[in-house]
Structure 1
């Protein structure tokens, strides 16, 4: 077993253990420190809260690591299909450790946080990741897909505000909602056309043929599954954002009229 393989395996197990530790011990302690209202939440709410804290931590680590690789890792940039996957493998090992950890939590607390879409998403992602971790192919492409994690902190923050019963029209809630919609669209939806244009551009090339039929089909099919879910989530988020903005405007209108009369 070479040094890189040992590094990837070690990173995976450390990632898994770290996220389990965050869920069971660190999240509750830290959350109670920064938000005393956490202690008054129900058992079910605390379970989902801790799950989302772990999700946010994972997203920040993997998302910013992906950004660094995307802009500065020359080895993968030079050859998106067969470039040196060393840094990407480490990032994917972190992500894989999280996905296995989260799948375990979904199963253990299914009645509270169980979600079939998340199970499909996690399994599809893990299936795609194993080709990169095992064969070293599609490193740049795999890293590009990890950029979607940059939207998760905003999605989780929205849930935190709801759990703490922040008013829907509070400044913090509205700002986070707008940022969530914009970032989600940029990293999950706007990238779809150029991404599939790239796939089309490499069809039939030597590097693409070297991937083999199984990897070719798996690459495209898993991306389609993940992107269909991203579009579904984007529709829900957009509807929610539009609804909040519309209601906020309706609330402001009577207040503006009232203030005008008082003046």
Structure 2
């Protein structure tokens, strides 16, 4: 039996109403940031639940974990997806898109933005809010004070850039560093699965070393150099944006160097055991 014309018309009517709702309200310029943040929070919850469901069926290790370990397992699944999403989009905006290209003459580079860039940052803000909430609620099980500081600084800087449209290029440069998160999470998964002495664990450590060196050390040097070259444009930003562009990356760079030292020591110990 075919679908009746009345049902087809009714479906198209609902579809048109949905499109109008999305276009005129959810994606109206003033509401884009709020819609994106809400979407990020909802996606966080959805992925968390899916990670829990899939892991309980397909990973025997998962069911043998404690309650807090299962919570961290699910949380790391969400952070991995966010890291892949935001680092991919950030790489596109920084190195491939014409939006922030020096060859464009569409205003100062520190004030350029688009609907896509704003939505992307909004989703990331939603993630940072959700993850920070979980870290604080279960403190210190999911991370210590350094995680709270990192997420707070990142969330504030990303939110400011999203709502004002200022300094989005530098925000994306910093967010590329999320490319190291999947490797860090994989190290935890291997450890919890009892594979700390495996070759996979050693290879993962080497990958973390090089990824961290490129994304969290050298890339930050590149960002500071870019700020120096475009300092006249950075000076045109609001004082809050100006301070965030200089202050947040500097604080994160110090934390990255401290963590990098721990990564080097951990890699040395792992290699020594293998030798």
Q: Normalising TM by the smaller chain, what interval? A: 0.7 to 0.9
Q: 70-79 or 220-229, which moves further after superposition?
A: 70-79
The whole-number CA distance in structure 2 between the counterparts of 1:5 and 1:68 is: 25
Alpha-carbon distance, 1:111 to partner: 4.2
Q: How many residues align?
A: 245
For residue 153 of structure 1, what is the aligned residue in structure 2? 182
For residue 195 of structure 1, what is the aligned residue in structure 2? 223
For residue 178 of structure 1, what is the aligned residue in structure 2? 206
Computed over aligned residues only, the root mean square deviation of the Cα atoms, in angstroms, reads 1.8
Choose which of 225, 228, 234 in structure 2 pairs with 1:208.
Answer: 234
For residue 132 of structure 1, what is the aligned residue in structure 2? 161
1:14 aligns with 2:67: no
For residue 252 of structure 1, what is the aligned residue in structure 2? none
Superposed CA deviations along residues 210-262 of structure 1, whole A, max 9, x for unmatched, are 2033321222111111111111111111111121112111xxxxxxxxxxxxx
1:69 aligns with 2:56: no
| CA contact 1:88–1:143 (8 Å) conserved in 2 | no
Structure 1 segments unaligned to the other structure (5+ residues): 250-263
For residue 193 of structure 2, what is the aligned residue in structure 1? 164
SS in 2 for 1:6: helix
| CA contact 1:11–1:90 (8 Å) conserved in 2 | yes
Structure number with the higher helix fraction is 1
Structure 2 segments unaligned to the other structure (5+ residues): 1-24, 103-107
Choose which of 126, 142, 154 in structure 1 pairs with 2:171.
Answer: 142
SS in 2 for 1:99: helix
The whole-number CA distance in structure 2 between the counterparts of 1:144 and 1:245 is: 32
For residue 258 of structure 1, what is the aligned residue in structure 2? none
| CA contact 2:227–2:234 (8 Å) conserved in 1 | no
- Structural mapping, 1:222-233, within 5 Å: 222-233=248-259
Runs of 4+ in 1 over 6 A off after TM superposition: none
SS in 1 for 2:254: helix
For residue 253 of structure 1, what is the aligned residue in structure 2? none
For residue 93 of structure 1, what is the aligned residue in structure 2? 122
For residue 15 of structure 2, what is the aligned residue in structure 1? none
